[in-house]
Amino acid sequence: MIESHAFEPDFLRRLDRLALGVKRARTARIGERTLGRVQGIGIELENFRNYSEGDDLRFLDWSALARLDELLIRTYRATRQVEVSVIVDASASMGSPREDDKLGFALLLAAALAYLAMGENDAVRLATFAMSRGTMRLTRTAFYHRQESYPELRPIVAGVKSGGTTRLGAMVDQLLLERRPAGLCILISDFLTDPADYEDALGRLAATRHEVRAIHVMGERESAGAYPGELLRVRDSETGAVREVAMGPDAVAKYRHRIEDFRTRLRDFCARRGITYAPAFGAANFERVIMEDFPRLGVVV
């Protein structure tokens, strides 16, 4: 179970060198000015600048005026109030192929990103979802702000089992019903659903001003098409549908091409909607994905 690495001290120490990448930091109160990533009202002094008309005189440094007879305005490091929701697809497709351990890989990534978010005192929660018997099961933790609360995520990371079908739209429906402030929404899934489904889901998240990260998880075997034998009877893990295939060399090439098409379509959609798309193929590569790929793609900094 690869998700167990999420709570290893060495792994966490390596994560301490990273920070969760957030493009937009928003103030807690609606309508206030956005100061950028590190500027705003707060209690931590950031810098000084010359006074200009319109500045709030509350931030005038009166001591400097008295000593230097210059009007200086104090700037403070803004206090971010970004709600980070790391949502993991726990449908049956995440459990197949079993050898790939896609769900464990997804949970490991989710825990790592949550850990990074906690390092910035962001409000972080972890959620899993799957459609089971017509009902969307969206399991969520509470929002945690500090890394001391990171172990609270262990039960959900260790206890999630794959099952059900992937219905991203239904998940987003339920998520939006919470009417939470827009924040960072990291969706980790294999996106093996109708493209219309994930396009609808991702589009609506982005439309509600969420900053969305789409982390596309696939297994090694799944992505390579390395199935045992040539003549196979394959069963869809979510629908149970069965189909007989002949996985000859040509068929494997077509299979890989199909995956590439699928991935390209997802990536292109994300690009069009300003959604960060980050592929994470192969659980065995989790170190490389977190330490190299994610920083390169801006998922972490």
Which of 195, 242, 191 is CA-nearest to residue 213?
Answer: 191
- In the complex with other proteins, the residue whose CB is nearer, 122 or 190, is 190
Cβ pair 216, 190 in contact under 8 A: yes
- In the complex with other proteins, the residue whose CB is nearer, 93 or 141, is 93
Residue 227 has φ and ψ, to the nearest 5°, of: -100, 150
* Three-state SS at 204: helix
How near is the Cβ of 190 to other proteins at its closest, in Å? 6
- In the complex with other proteins, the residue whose CB is nearer, 246 or 301, is 246
* Interacting residues of 245 by C-beta distance below 8 A, sequence separation 6+: 231, 232, 233, 234, 251
- In the complex with other proteins, the residue whose CB is nearer, 32 or 261, is 261
- In the complex with other proteins, the residue whose CB is nearer, 19 or 252, is 252
- In the complex with other proteins, the residue whose CB is nearer, 72 or 187, is 187
How near is the Cβ of 96 to other proteins at its closest, in Å? 4
165 forms beta bridges with 131
User: Can you tell me the distance from the alpha carbon of 216 to that of 269, in angstroms, rounded to the nearest whole number?
Assistant: 13
How near is the Cβ of 172 to other proteins at its closest, in Å? 20
How near is the Cβ of 102 to other proteins at its closest, in Å? 7
Residue 191, CB half-sphere, CA atoms under 13 Å: how many?
A: 30
Structure tokens at 188: 């980790």
How near is the Cβ of 156 to other proteins at its closest, in Å? 22
How near is the Cβ of 238 to other proteins at its closest, in Å? 7
Helix (H) / strand (E) containing 267: helix 249-272
How near is the Cβ of 244 to other proteins at its closest, in Å? 5
State yes or no: cis peptide before 9, omega within 30 of 0: no
- In the complex with other proteins, the residue whose CB is nearer, 45 or 234, is 234
- In the complex with other proteins, the residue whose CB is nearer, 207 or 245, is 245
Residue 57 CA: distances (Å) to CA of 42, 60, 62, 70, 240: 16, 5, 10, 13, 67
How near is the Cβ of 255 to other proteins at its closest, in Å? 5
DSSP letter (8 states) at residue 186: E
Cβ pair 111, 139 in contact under 8 A: no
User: Can you tell me the distance from the alpha carbon of 82 to that of 119, in angstroms, rounded to the nearest whole number?
Assistant: 13
Q: Which residues in this chain contact other proteins in the complex, by CB under 8 A? A: 93-94, 96-98, 102, 190, 192-193, 219-222, 224, 226-229, 231-239, 241-247, 251, 254-255, 257-259, 262
User: Can you tell me the distance from the alpha carbon of 112 to that of 115, in angstroms, rounded to the nearest whole number?
Assistant: 5
User: Can you tell me the distance from the alpha carbon of 162 to that of 93, in angstroms, rounded to the nearest whole number?
Assistant: 8
